[in-house]
Amino acid sequence: MALFIQNIVRFVLLVLFQVLVLNNIEFLGLVNPYLYILFIITLPVRLPNWVSILLSFGTGLLIDTFSNTHGMHAFAAVLIAFLRSGIIDLFITIEEGNNPSPTFYTFGMNAYIKYVVLMILIYHIAFFTLEAFSFTHLWILMIKIILSSLVTFILIMGLQTIKSK
């Protein structure tokens, strides 16, 4: 039950922060971090795949509604939700009967960073490619992806260190 409430609070806070603050960051016109995917990243490991996919679809659609992007966030969010369990298995073996939410503590520094980086990269690549829908400005696209992913990564790491204190 506590886990349930914790996730709802995290969801509300992240979506509000994303919509009201981060979507207004327009540094150099290139950086637009999407921190709200931390919600998807931190869903409990043993949550059935179909639940996390549906949740991500809803969340992505909500962010879409706020930023007029029509399904682009939903697409990217569903993609990372689908790949999530595979990526987790890639870096860490969770013992039977355990159901941790991915954090520094539960995953360990090394595995957690690998997992987060991969999720962020897949998300930003999917989203920005879909947004541009062409490779004509490939350099701008790549710079956008790299800078936004980097800022998202720094924000997530910052949040994790604050929480662990």
Partner 1 sequence: MKNLLNFLIKYSVVFLFLVLEIISLSMVFNNKDYQKSVFLSSSNSMVSTLYEWNNSIVEFFKLRAANDNLSEENTALKNQVILLQNELATLQPSDTDSIHFRIPPEMEYKFIPAKVINSSTNKLQNYITLNKGASDGIKPDMGVVSDEGVVGIVKTVSNRFAVVIPVLNPKIQVSCKFKNSNYNGSLLWSGQDYRYSNLTDIARHVKLALGDTLITSGLTSTFPAGIPVGCIEDFNIKESDAYYNIKVKLAVNFRTLLHVKVINYLNYNEQKELEKIPEE
Q: Does 129 bind partner 1 (CB under 8 A)?
A: no
Q: How far is the CB of 124 from partner 1 (least distance, A)?
A: 14
Q: Does 53 bind partner 1 (CB under 8 A)?
A: yes
Q: How far is the CB of 77 from partner 1 (least distance, A)?
A: 9
Q: At what angle do helices 49-67 and 2-20 cross, to 10 degrees?
A: 30
Nearest to residue 126, comparing CAs of 73, 52, 84, 67?
73
52-55 long-range Cβ contacts below 8 angstroms, 24+ apart:
52/81, 52/84, 53/78, 53/81, 53/82, 55/81
Rounded distance between C-alpha atoms, residue 146 and residue 28, angstroms: 14
Residues 13-32 close enough to bind partner 1 by CB under 8 A = 19-20, 23, 26, 29-30, 32
Contact with partner 1 (CB under 8 A) among 6, 65, 99, 110: 65
Q: How far is the CB of 25 from partner 1 (least distance, A)?
A: 9
Rounded distance between C-alpha atoms, residue 49 and residue 84, angstroms: 9
> Which residues bind to partner 1, rule: CB under 8 A?
19-20, 23, 26, 29-30, 32, 49-50, 53-54, 57, 60-61, 64-72, 74-75, 78-79, 82, 130-132, 137, 140
